[in-house]
Each structure stands twice: as C-alpha cells, then as structure tokens.
Amino acid sequence: MIVTITPNPSLDRTYELPSLAAGTVNRATADRVDPGGKGVNVARALTAAGHPSTAVLPLGGPAGERLAALLRQQGIAVAAVPVVGETRTNVSLAAADGSLTKVNAPGPQLSAEESTALLAAARGTEAAWLACCGSLPRGLAPRWYAELVAQVHAGGARIALDTSGPALTAALTARPDVVKPNAEELAEATGRTLATVGDALAAAQELRERGAVQVLASLGGDGMLLVGPDGVWFGSARVDRVRSDVGAGDASLAGFLGAGGQGPQALAAALAHGAAAVQLPGSVMPTPADLRPERVEIAADIPADRPLTG
C-alpha cells in the first residue's frame, strides 16, 4: 500500500482551446474536471496502474465533497480531514499548440488544530511508502513536512517528498527517502544555474549532501536524473505530442514508487509514466495500456555536457 498526503488539494478544471488570446472571449472545444493536487494525482496514477492507494487530504465545502466523490469513483480510498475553508479550484487553459496557462487558487487557511489533525491522519496510516506532495496551504509552516518525515520514519515507513521552496529545504535535514524536484525547483533549492545535465547532477548531489537519501530530478523534455546511494542514472523517453503536462511529474513519481522506489528500473518506470501522461488530456493519469516502455532509454553514462533546453 502506498499512501499519499496532499495538504492543499484542488478540483482541476481544464479547458481545451484552439488558441488562447488574452483580453478576448475564448471558446473551449472541450472541458473536464479532475481531482487535483500533486499527491492526489500520484494516488490516481497508482490506482490506474493497479496499485492500491489511500489519499489523505484536508477537505472543505462543496468543492471538497466533489473532490472526495471523484476520487472514490476512481477506486481511491479517501482519508478526509474536515476543514472549515473551502477546497480550492484551479483552472488550466490548454491550447492546441501545446501551450498551457494555469491559474492556481491559494486554497483555505488551516488552523493549528486542522494542521495537527492532518499530521495525525498521516501518522495513522499503514504503508510501506508515503508520498507527500505539493505546496503547503496557508497556516502550515515550512517545517510541517520535516515534522511529517520524522513521524513517518518513526513509524518504520519510507517517504517521498515532492515540494519546493522553504518547505523542501527545511525537510532535507529530516532525511526524506526521495525528493522529486523539477529543474526550476532544483535550481532554487541550491542557488545554482542549471545549463547542462552536469549542472543538474551537481545540484542533485548537493541535495543529497544536505540530507535527501535519493533525488529524482525531472528535467522536463530533457529527461530525468536519479541520484542515490547506489549510483547515478539518467534517462529520457520519446514523445510524439505533448497534449498537457498537468500531473506528468506526479505520474512519474507514481511510476517510480510503484516500481520499488529505487534503481534504474524504477527510473525507467517513472519516465514511461511521465511520457504517457503528457500525451493525455488535462490531468488524466495513464493506465498500463498507455505506457510505451520501449521508448525509454537509460544512459550507461551521464551526458554531463548535454545542454538543458528547458
């Protein structure tokens, strides 16, 4: 069992447009509403791949009720922590040329009591892995994830952390088993300029020196790096068309954890899931039928001089 914790979940509404013109009326050709939030997406991707998952998340108002209902319809167990504020709704505008414009709402402010209840709900789960993902809502201090990592380790489980900014850097000293930054988050956390794969590797190694056991770094279309105590691997996956990159990193983390959470086979699974996700609409998570593992390449040597295209 893999449990996900999403402190700031959302309903994600996606509109597909022929093109996007600011300051005018834009008419969508399609729209959909999906459960949102990084940890929620990980739970959806795990379930789609046949791995049972429970989603721990604070829920409030009609949007929270709809989010829980959508998750249960997908076969995901929901461990809800009731909160006074309403669960946020995010909007994505996906143009036919592959560009994506997102508007993310701030979400509710959690009280001290609600924060404590969320920690207790996460602590009360039984799982081999916990995936803790996304931004922290208002009311939760940057050290909240560090507290969670310590509690998870005290219970004998492993924890994967996908967040950014002060929440990421504060959690490093608690030694999360995996952190999954993208290139921008990796650069922010280390203060480095990432122009090549070698630069990303050096930044990932710095995060390990600061406490992370493994670093799974997503470099967008350039591939992924896995840096851990057992070695360093780089991989990439061929993609025909990018339809939406919403949730692609979350699908990658689900693939990684579903494949054991370490080593080149887990990296290959992460790449296959991420590549499949970007070719699906909105934040739809891939099923095994969507995966193309034959399009994944794991490099024998790290291409340190390869430029990052962004």
Instruction: List, by residue number, the catalytic residues.
Output: 250
Query: From CA 78, how far away is CA 70, in angstroms rounded?
Result: 10
Burial 83-122 (b: 16+ CB within 10 A, else e): bebebbbbbbbbbeeeebeeeeeebbebeeebbebbbebb
H or E segment to which residue 72 belongs: helix 61-73
Please give the distance of CA 154 from its chain centroid, rounded to a whole number: 24
| Three-state secondary-structure class, residue 129 | strand
Query: From CA 25, how far away is CA 267, in angstroms rounded?
Result: 43
Side chain identity, residue 148: L
Contact indicator for 84, 130 with CB cutoff of 8 Å: no
Calculate the CA dihedral of residues 280, 92, 107, 211 and round it to 10 degrees: 50
